[in-house]
Structure 1
Amino acid sequence: MTRYREICAELAHHISGGELRPGDELPGVRELARQWNTTASTVSRAQRRLADAGVLELADRRRARVASGGALAARRFLEADSVLTLAGSDDPALGLLTAALDGRLRIATREGSVAGLDAVRQGRADGAAIHLLHHTGVYNAPFALGMLRGLDPHLVHLWRREQGLIVPQGNPYGITGVGDLPGRRISTRRPGTGTRVLLDRLLLAAGHDPDGIRGPQMGTHLEVALAVATGTVDAGIGVRSAATDLDLDFVPLAWEDFDVALSGRALDPAAHLVAALRTPALRARISALDGYDTTRSGDVTKLAVTQKAYRTVQ
Structure 2
Amino acid sequence: MTRYREICSDLAHQISAGTLHPGDELPGVRELAQQWRTTASTVSRAQRRLADAGVLELAERRRARVAPGAALAARRFLHEDQVFTLAGSDDPALGLLAGTLSGQLKITQREGSVSGLAAVREGRADGAAIHLLHHTGVYNAPFALGMLRGLEPHLIHLWRREQGLIVLPGNPSRITGIADLANRRISTRRPGTGTRILLDRLLLAAGQDPDDLRGPQVGTHLEVALAVATGTVDAGLGIRSAAIGLDLDFVPLTWEDFDIGLVRNGLDPAAHLIAALQTPALREKITALGGYDTSRSGELTELTELAGTVRPASTQR
User: Is the structural similarity TM-score above 0.5?
Assistant: yes
SS at match of 1:58: strand
Q: Does 1:180 align with 2:183?
A: no
Matches within 5 A, 1:146-161: 146-161=146-161
**Distance apart, 1:208 and its partner CA:** 0.2
Q: What are the Cα deviations for residues 251-299 of structure 1, in whole angstroms up to 9, with x where unaligned?
A: 1111000000000111111000100000000000000000000010000
**Distance apart, 1:310 and its partner CA:** 1.6
Q: What are the Cα deviations for residues 75-127 of structure 1, in whole angstroms up to 9, with x where unaligned?
A: 00001000000000000100000001110000000000000000000000000
Partners of 2:237 and 2:19 in 1: how far apart? 48
Partners of 1:232 and 1:136 in 2: how far apart? 35
Tell me the residue number matched to 2:251: 251
Tell me the residue number matched to 2:222: 222
SS at match of 1:208: coil
**Distance apart, 1:160 and its partner CA:** 0.1
One-letter amino acid of the structure 2 residue matched with residue 67 of structure 1: A
SS at match of 1:135: coil
Partners of 1:11 and 1:130 in 2: how far apart? 35
**Distance apart, 1:305 and its partner CA:** 2.2
Partners of 2:190 and 2:62 in 1: how far apart? 59
Tell me the residue number matched to 2:292: 292
**Distance apart, 1:42 and its partner CA:** 0.6
Tell me the residue number matched to 2:309: 311
SS at match of 2:155: strand
Tell me the residue number matched to 1:116: 116
One-letter amino acid of the structure 2 residue matched with residue 162 of structure 1: E
One-letter amino acid of the structure 2 residue matched with residue 141 of structure 1: A
Instruction: Specify every segment of 5 or more residues in structure 2 that has no aligned partner in the other structure, as ranges.
Output: 313-317
Partners of 2:30 and 2:23 in 1: how far apart? 20
One-letter amino acid of the structure 2 residue matched with residue 70 of structure 1: A
Equivalenced residue count is 312
Partners of 1:26 and 1:217 in 2: how far apart? 59
Partners of 1:310 and 1:144 in 2: how far apart? 9
SS at match of 1:310: coil
**Distance apart, 1:227 and its partner CA:** 0.7
Q: What are the Cα deviations for residues 210-239 of structure 1, in whole angstroms up to 9, with x where unaligned?
A: 000011111110111011001011111100
SS at match of 1:65: strand
What's the TM-score once normalised by structure 1's chain length?
0.99
One-letter amino acid of the structure 1 residue matched with residue 21 of structure 2: R
Partners of 1:106 and 1:233 in 2: how far apart? 33
Instruction: Specify every segment of 5 or more residues in structure 1 that has no aligned partner in the other structure, as ranges.
Output: none
**Distance apart, 1:14 and its partner CA:** 0.3
Partners of 1:14 and 1:179 in 2: how far apart? 57
Q: Does 1:140 align with 2:105?
A: no
Q: What are the Cα deviations for residues 136-193 of structure 1, in whole angstroms up to 9, with x where unaligned?
A: 0000000000000111000000000000000000000000111111110100000000
Partners of 1:157 and 1:102 in 2: how far apart? 20
SS at match of 1:151: coil
Matches within 5 A, 1:27-106: 27-106=27-106
Partners of 1:246 and 1:29 in 2: how far apart? 60
Matches within 5 A, 1:5-24: 5-24=5-24
Q: What are the Cα deviations for residues 46-102 of structure 1, in whole angstroms up to 9, with x where unaligned?
A: 000000101000000100000111111000000100000000000010000000111
One-letter amino acid of the structure 1 residue matched with residue 163 of structure 2: Q
One-letter amino acid of the structure 1 residue matched with residue 59 of structure 2: A
Partners of 2:258 and 2:51 in 1: how far apart? 33
Partners of 2:221 and 2:23 in 1: how far apart? 45
**Distance apart, 1:13 and its partner CA:** 0.3
| Backbone CA RMSD of aligned residues | 0.5
Partners of 2:81 and 2:51 in 1: how far apart? 19
